[in-house]
Every structure is written in structure tokens, then in C-alpha cells.
């Protein structure tokens, strides 16, 4: 019984990490598209969005995916993107 639980947990871990990586690329694309369309935000907000996007990219490249996924939603919120 314990082996079955271990296998299920391992399966969930392996396949959920792929979902996080995919989520990251979606969020980055949304931010890039919004910035390219000159959103109606202040210069300070745009600077913050760009900072959060860069932070997310840096964290992701260092393998800190969960931390990257904390920075990107903040940028999306400023841009008023769901």
C-alpha cells in the first residue's frame, strides 16, 4: 500500500512540474503582449511590471520555479490581466 502511495506522489510531482513550467511561459507571453500594446498604466507601474517580469525570468532560469510564479501574478495584476 505504501509503495502505491509513493508511486502516485512521484507521478503527481513529475507531471505537475511540467504544468508549472507551462504556466510560466503563458504568464510571460501575456506580460510581453500587454507591454507591447502600450497599456494604460503609469510609468512607475510599467517599471514595476518590467522589474517583476525580469525577476520572474531570472528565478525561473535559476530553477526557482515556485518563486518565479509568485512574481509574475503581481505583474499581471498591475496590468489588470486575468
What pLDDT, in 10s, does the model give residues 30-69?
999 999 998 889 999 999 999 999 998 898 888 887 788 7
How much is the mean pLDDT over the chain?
81
Report yes or no on whether pTM surpasses 0.75: no
| Distance (Å, whole) CA 22 – CA 34 | 19
Confidence of residue 28 (pLDDT cuts 50, 70, 90): confident
pLDDT at 81: 86
| Distance (Å, whole) CA 61 – CA 47 | 21
Q: Cβ atoms within 10 A of the Cβ of 59, count?
A: 19
Residue among 39, 17, 66, 20 at smallest CA distance from 76: 39
| Distance (Å, whole) CA 39 – CA 11 | 41
Amino acid at each position: 500500500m505504501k509503495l502505491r502511495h509513493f508511486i502516485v506522489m512521484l507521478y503527481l510531482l513529475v507531471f505537475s512540474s511540467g504544468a508549472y513550467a507551462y504556466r510560466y511561459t503563458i504568464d510571460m507571453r501575456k506580460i510581453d503582449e500587454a507591454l507591447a500594446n502600450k497599456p494604460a498604466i503609469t510609468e512607475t507601474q510599467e517599471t514595476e511590471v518590467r522589474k517583476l517580469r525580469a525577476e520572474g525570468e531570472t528565478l525561473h532560469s535559476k530553477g526557482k520555479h515556485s518563486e518565479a510564479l509568485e512574481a509574475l501574478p503581481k505583474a499581471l495584476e498591475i496590468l489588470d490581466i486575468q
